[in-house]
Amino acid sequence: MLDKFGWKKTEKKDLSLQAQMELIQMQEVPKHIAIIMDGNGRWAKSRALPRFIGHREGMHNVRVITKAANAIGVGAITLYAFSTENWKRPSTEVDFLMRLPEEFLADFLPELMELNIRVEMIGEMDGLPSHTSRAVQNAMDKTKDNTGMVLNFAFNYGSRREMVLAVQKIASLVQQGDLNMASITEETISEQLMTSSIGDPDLLIRTSGEYRVSNFLLWQLAYTEFFFSDIHWPEFKAEHLYSAIIDYQKRNRRYGGLKGE
């Protein structure tokens, strides 16, 4: 059995985590949080462990953060799991990363169903090994009727590639006479992006001390608040997520105007 926050009844939340949850203004929880999960390899190296151990621990931590986000009413989280640039890594590492979704989703799927969480993916499914695409598609199919938080994986994803595909779709609509070039707006572009169903992120979190967006959601991040953490992803737990959200809630989001001034 799960409690109202999504934790199993037998799990105990420490006092600091409970205090943080009470500090969060629930009516101002970010609707969509994007996370660049960085530092798996560095976490492993700092412990004299192989990189693949870091990736496995990082994937296990997805479960922790998913439940923590769901517990406070986040509408969607988009996790940068594998970029189009990551194919440049050693083949043994890529092969291992392509096996992780099978392991993770098979183990986590019953709990995702219990939590009413829907799995989605942005990126190009066609470029994935068949065993990887089957695992992701199965999770999407099994959870498609769930109405709660969206767990959105950016897998084989690159933002510039996404924008190229969006431009191609728009050009095709114009060529077919279904769209007038003069009527193209920012909304037209947003509607052709892979995130059209969940909207732009309110908050971007990047772990492990890096300060760049790395070809991730370039269009969508125009007015997103950024939060950078020095903590490696496998160690970025619920209390760190809540700290980022509390920090976010203290900010004045003006969208270019003078709101609050």
Residues forming the annotated binding site for substrate? 39-43, 51, 55, 83-85, 87, 89, 206, 212-214
- Active-site residue 215, yes or no? no
Cβ-based neighbour number of residue 35 at 10 Å? 26
**Do residues 123 and 160 lie in contact, with contact meaning Cβ atoms separated by under 8 Å?**
no
Per annotation, catalytic residue among 38, 61, 152, 202: 38
Torsion sign (Cα): 15, 12, 76, 230: positive
Annotated binding site for Mg(2+): which residue ranges? 38, 225
Per annotation, catalytic residue among 86, 116, 138, 146: 86
Q: How many residues does the chain have?
A: 261
Burial class (CB in 10 A: 0-12, 13-18, 19+), 53: middle
Rounded to 10 deg, the angle between the 51-71 and 91-114 helix axes is: 20
Annotated binding site: which residue ranges? 38-43, 51, 55, 83-85, 87, 89, 206, 212-214, 225
Amino acid occupying residue 99: R
Structure-token match 């209390």, residue found: 239
Helices (H) and strands (E) in the chain, counts: 8, 6
- Active-site residue 38, yes or no? yes
**What does the alpha-carbon distance between residue 168 and residue 165 come to, in Å, rounded to a whole number?**
5
Catalytic site positions = 38, 86
